[in-house]
Structure 1
Amino acid sequence: MTNPPNNNTRLPGRPKRSEEELPIDQLILRIASNLFMENGYEAISLQQIAKACGVTKASIYYHFESKAQLFTASVTSMTGMARMHTKRIMEQDGPLLDRLRELAQVKLARPHGDFETIMREARASLSPEQIKTIMASEEAINDVLIHSFQQSMDQGEIRIGDPLFLAHTFYSLLMVGNREISADYNLSPTHLAHKIMDLFWHGVVPT
């Protein structure tokens, strides 16, 4: 005897129940952010985003006038959340190394595509103002790290240097932890975070 269909089964591509409780524009932003970061700009269409959200393409156009605007809103929303989490971690008490290691572990636990590659792909479709908005949101994350590095320099915890350069170097090393590369080493986010932080903190010179 065939079992009756389960009406509670979520269809492939449909949002989770917790996501369905979000306002439509926030649901679209969350899912679009994931799709863009995992697949790039060109590979994802508004129709694919609509299907993943369980809404019509017209619903997306109701909230966002174009794919470029949705991409911009998605990226700035994502970087805004990243800044909030970065600030929370870096403002904790404790040694700078421990806070950076925790930040690295959190970031590596959410692997995604290379942001620089995604931006190069999307740039031709974005207006100068949209590019400026995205770059400003990314720099806001760096500002949190710059402040932490400068504070640690002032306290003598690390040697005097360029805090902006340190922030860029730190995030560049974290890109080693994207999905494709980290899989080659078969390391958990925690172990990979420790390896990256050991290289960042101690370099390659014997101690």
Structure 2
Amino acid sequence: MKQSPRVLGRPRHNENAKPTKDIVLETATRLFIKEGYKNISMDDVAKACNVTKATVYYYYPTKGDLYTSALIAMMDRIRLAILHILEQPSPFKERLEQLVEVHLSATVDIDMKNFMREASINLSESQLKEVHISENKIYQTIEQAMQLEMEKGTIRKGNATFFAHTFMAMMSIGYFKDGEGKRLFNTVQETAKEVTTFFWQSVHNNE
């Protein structure tokens, strides 16, 4: 029986190799992190992956699609890491401190504000909606943990959404640098401790 011709741009499948789509996405994410959206072309991604440009376009029809997928994949990894920490049996305050430390350590080279700024400029309305859905899932994961700890009496009763957003906003202080590039605290560990302590003083149930 004669084999059907491959669809143009569809890569050959190798059962033992990592899926080409994953390789393209991972490579593109690294390039976007290092160079930014505007400075990376689909041709750059293809060359870095050692595949044809047609292959990249087969999986991601536009650079906007690729950037959207990169952001969503990044946020999904962040959410799963946060969930893993929050599900540990250690005291809630310790989990929050670990969350800040791990998150800041993992994203030290990622300018999320710039990522989102470039997304708002270059992505379509539907693509932005996809990104925001993934972003909201991160907040919802923390919000659910806050709600659970309220029910346990660990932290005072309040608006779990407000608590989650406040905590994330405080955590972002870890990215702050002054005009000379100096951070507020010397280490990620110190930042995690200061942020968590400050937050904890506001929400801890003292009854």
Normalising by structure 2, we get a TM-score of 0.77
- 1:32-181 to 2 correspondence within 5 Å? 32-110=28-106, 111-178=108-175, 180=177
Aligned to 1:12: none
In the alignment, the residues of structure 1 paired with residue 105 and residue 157 of structure 2 have an alpha-carbon distance, to the nearest angstrom, of 31
Give unpaired runs (5+ residues) of structure 1: 1-20
Q: Greater CA deviation, 188-197 or 81-90?
A: 188-197
In the alignment, the residues of structure 2 paired with residue 187 and residue 22 of structure 1 have an alpha-carbon distance, to the nearest angstrom, of 39
Distance 1:51 1:171, change over 3 A: farther
Q: Indicate the percent of aligned positions where both proteins have the same amino acid.
A: 33
Q: Greater CA deviation, 95-104 or 107-116?
A: 107-116
In the alignment, the residues of structure 1 paired with residue 84 and residue 28 of structure 2 have an alpha-carbon distance, to the nearest angstrom, of 25
CA displacement, residues 160-183 of structure 1 (integer Å, 9 cap, x when unaligned) = 221111211222222222385685
Aligned to 1:30: 26
- Does the CA contact (< 8 Å) of 1:146 and 1:163 recur in 2? yes
- Does the CA contact (< 8 Å) of 2:185 and 2:191 recur in 1? no
Give unpaired runs (5+ residues) of structure 2: 1-16, 203-207
Q: Greater CA deviation, 45-54 or 158-167?
A: 45-54
CA displacement, residues 92-122 of structure 1 (integer Å, 9 cap, x when unaligned) = 1121111111111111112134423322222
By how many angstroms is 1:53 displaced?
Answer: 3.0
Letter in 1 for 2:64: A
By how many angstroms is 1:139 displaced?
Answer: 0.8
Superposed CA RMSD:
2.5
Q: Greater CA deviation, 44-53 or 92-101?
A: 44-53
Letter in 2 for 1:172: A
Normalising by structure 1, we get a TM-score of 0.77
Runs of 4+ in 1 over 6 A off after TM superposition: none
In the alignment, the residues of structure 1 paired with residue 141 and residue 187 of structure 2 have an alpha-carbon distance, to the nearest angstrom, of 26
Q: Counterpart of 1:153 in 2: which secondary structure? A: helix
- Does the CA contact (< 8 Å) of 1:29 and 1:73 recur in 2? yes
In the alignment, the residues of structure 2 paired with residue 156 and residue 150 of structure 1 have an alpha-carbon distance, to the nearest angstrom, of 10
Aligned to 1:8: none
- Does the CA contact (< 8 Å) of 1:36 and 1:44 recur in 2? yes
Q: Counterpart of 2:137 in 1: which secondary structure? A: helix
